[in-house]
Amino acid sequence: MLRPCLAWSFAVALVTPPAHALEGQWRLGVSGGVVASTAPKVGPVGNLYAGYGVFDALDLRLEVGAGRFVDQSRLRTGLSVGGSALVKFDVTHWVPYVALGANYVNLGFAGDGATAGVLLLPAAGVDYLLSREHALGLEYRFALPVVGGYDTAHHQVLAHWEQRWGW
């Protein structure tokens, strides 16, 4: 009984094409949320991003953002630019993922005692595919300063919407 089942499974696997559900797919999105640290301060943050599905389980993403970041227990306006790699675990309507990225953050302006640094951003999130073209999602990031004068670790919680094409 087991041999016919294994033979049938093997035959189906040979003739079934790969799903390629996320491979080759381009994404443009917008996200918004909050930044918080151990200091009792919370600020808004927003990003615009573009991504590409290298293969089913791996996406690459570039982003630019702005927000009110916590810096030494005060909120400062800042701009960021960075990139990340996302490992996706499923290709159904719910797509959980983990990510690792890095952002360059510049806080303040020349007359305001500008501070800049590079943040390492481990993240976890989930996307809900409304259709092949649209998705909503939620992402948690922990921002860990690694280089530069910006030295305040913080948390980010972001909701996002994205447009997808090119599958």
Q: What is the pLDDT of residues 6-34, one digit of tens each?
A: 455 455 445 444 444 567 889 999 999 99
**Residue 5 scores a pLDDT above 60:** no
Q: 94-107 and 58-71: which strand pairing?
A: unpaired
Structure confidence at residue 112 (pLDDT): 65
The answer to whether position 150 is within a domain reads: yes
Q: What percent of the chain has pLDDT over 70?
A: 82
**What is each CA distance from 60 to 42, 52, 85, 103, in whole angstroms?**
28, 5, 5, 14
The answer to whether position 114 is within a domain reads: yes
Dump strand ranges (E) for 25-152: 26-36, 42-55, 58-71, 74-88, 94-107, 115-129, 134-148
The answer to whether position 27 is within a domain reads: yes
The CATH number linked to 106 is 2.40.160.20
With a CB cutoff of 8 Å and minimum separation 6, the contacts of 40 are none
Which range marks the domain in which residue 104 is found? 20-165
The answer to whether position 120 is within a domain reads: yes
Structure confidence at residue 110 (pLDDT): 54
Structure confidence at residue 100 (pLDDT): 98
The answer to whether position 5 is within a domain reads: no
**Residue 99 scores a pLDDT above 50:** yes
Q: Give the total number of structural domains in the chain.
A: 1
**Residue 101 scores a pLDDT above 80:** yes
Q: If 0-12 CB within 10 Å is exposed, 13-18 middle and 19+ buried, where does residue 50 land?
A: middle
The answer to whether position 123 is within a domain reads: yes
The answer to whether position 15 is within a domain reads: no
Helix or strand (DSSP H, E) at 165: strand 154-165
**Residue 37 scores a pLDDT above 90:** no
The answer to whether position 90 is within a domain reads: yes
